[in-house]
Structure 1
Amino acid sequence: MTSVLIRRGRDTRDVQARRKDHVEILQESSHLQAKERGLSRHQTSQHLDLGRPASRTVIFRWWKISLRSEYRSTKPGEVKESHEDFLENSHLQVQIALIFGARILDHVFNLCEGKFDFLERLSDNLLLSIISYLDLEDIARLSQTSCRFAKLCMADKLWEQIVQSACDNITPEMRALAADMGWRQMFFTNKLQLQRRLRKRRERQESQRDSQL
């Protein structure tokens, strides 16, 4: 099996290029291994536990799930490696690339090298609260960084907080209108248009009451 090991202290761009080649080679090698051994993902269930950054361990567990009697007494297997040892363990890297894919393997590499993305670990509610303090231009730029931030930056809950911080008082009529048109659209609608929409909404409600009477 051919593999390319990543060493520390090299140029960052060189490391990234070698990692990409490494992941591709691992995937190719793992598919060859699976073909030779007749492996099937449906025969064994696997679990990858990265733990907390402070634990600095990678735990790979697997167990058989089968109705056959010969597998009933089979015990789960486990491999536990420190971050440093994982970077040198090409066999375990092959297994992760085969089962979980190149993206997960690259994520594990980043964790083992101390490259933590703490923003990804924050809850959506906390991120929405932080984003609400940004300028509009910064929110627009942030929405282009990832799919998750694109959804958060378009979330109605975010723009509700932004409207509340921009307005001294939000009346029940305004909340009802926001439920119809959305808080984001309400924020970008000028004051005169909002007044027209509110007036039309009142007229519609009054006509409905008159028709019921």
Structure 2
Amino acid sequence: MASWLPETLFEIVGQGPAPSKDYYQLLVTRSQLIFRWWRISLRNEYRSTKPGEAKETHEDFLENSHLQVQIALIFGAGILDYVFNLCKGKFDFLERLSDTLLLRIISYLDLEDLVRLSQTSRRFAKLCASDKLWERIVRLACDTITPDMKSLAENMGWKQIFFTNKFQFLRQLRKRKQRQGTQGEKRL
């Protein structure tokens, strides 16, 4: 399974905590962790400082508490945990799937499972609330989508259309046609 992974497993850049203006890059490849820094300072003693780089194997990084503390301070504890798991060989393949593919998979879930999935992470919450997902769900649930339905869904939102009962939906369509008719009369 690991052979399916790209050479670069993870990369992030960031600025050090205030008052530092230094920039950092963390790169995790299949075999090593690379930590780079660029000192940005107006102080004379740091002006001639060159960028630095530390390369460690995954095993060495897992034992290097000094580097772990630096990464946690700069990028946060969540990133440190994620990098720790990568270095231990624990890969989150689901996290690597594109949003398009995940939306396709998610669209086949039952509504109860969709609600549960939306509570697992920010990414899944965003995907489960997306208009693209609900458009796909509506299209799977309905035999035909009329142009009026599509136009109304684009204004109201596909999720709203899905949860609107048939009577309310027909009333909305009728109101919309009436508004379009009165606007057409005003133009004449």
Return the TM-score normalized by structure 2: 0.82
Alignment-derived partner of residue 130 in structure 2: 155
Are positions 1:203 and 2:178 aligned together?
yes
Q: Deviations over 1:51-105 (max 9, x none)?
A: 3xxx131111112223566645432211111111111112211221232222222
| Shift in Å, 1:154 | 0.9
**Distance in 2 between residues matched to 1:40 and 1:153, nearest whole Å:** 36
Q: What is aligned with 2:24?
A: 46
Query: Which one has the largest radius of gyration?
Result: 1
Aligned residue in 2 for 1:63: 38
Q: Is there any run of 5+ residues in structure 2 with no aligned partner, and where?
A: 1-16
Contact 1:143 1:153 in 2 (8 A): yes
- What secondary structure does 2:138 align onto? helix
Paired positions, count: 172
Query: Does the C-alpha gap of structure 1 residues 202 and 86 become closer, same or farther in structure 2, counting only changes over 3 Å?
Result: same
1:1-213 to 2 correspondences below 5 Å: 42-51=20-29, 55-67=30-42, 71=46, 73-213=48-188
SS of 2:167's equivalent in the other structure is helix
- Report the alpha carbon displacement of residue 159 of structure 1 after superposing the two structures with TM: 0.4
1:175 positional shift: 1.0
User: Unpaired runs of 5+ in structure 1?
Assistant: 1-38
Residue 174 of structure 1, CA deviation: 0.6
Give percent identity, aligned residues only.
69
Instruction: Output the CA distance in 2 between the equivalents of 1:41 and 1:110.
Output: 30
Which AA in structure 2 matches 1:124? D
The alignment's TM-score, normalised by the length of structure 1, stands at 0.73
Runs of 4+ in 1 over 6 A off after TM superposition: none
Rounded Cα–Cα distance in structure 2 between residues aligned with 1:43 and 1:156:
39
Higher mean displacement: 63-72 or 148-157:
63-72
- In 2, the alpha carbon distance for the partners of 1:64 and 1:131 equals 44
How many angstroms apart in 2 are the aligned matches of 1:194 and 1:99? 51
Q: Which has more strand, going by share of residues?
A: 2
RMSD of aligned residue pairs (Cα, Å): 2.0
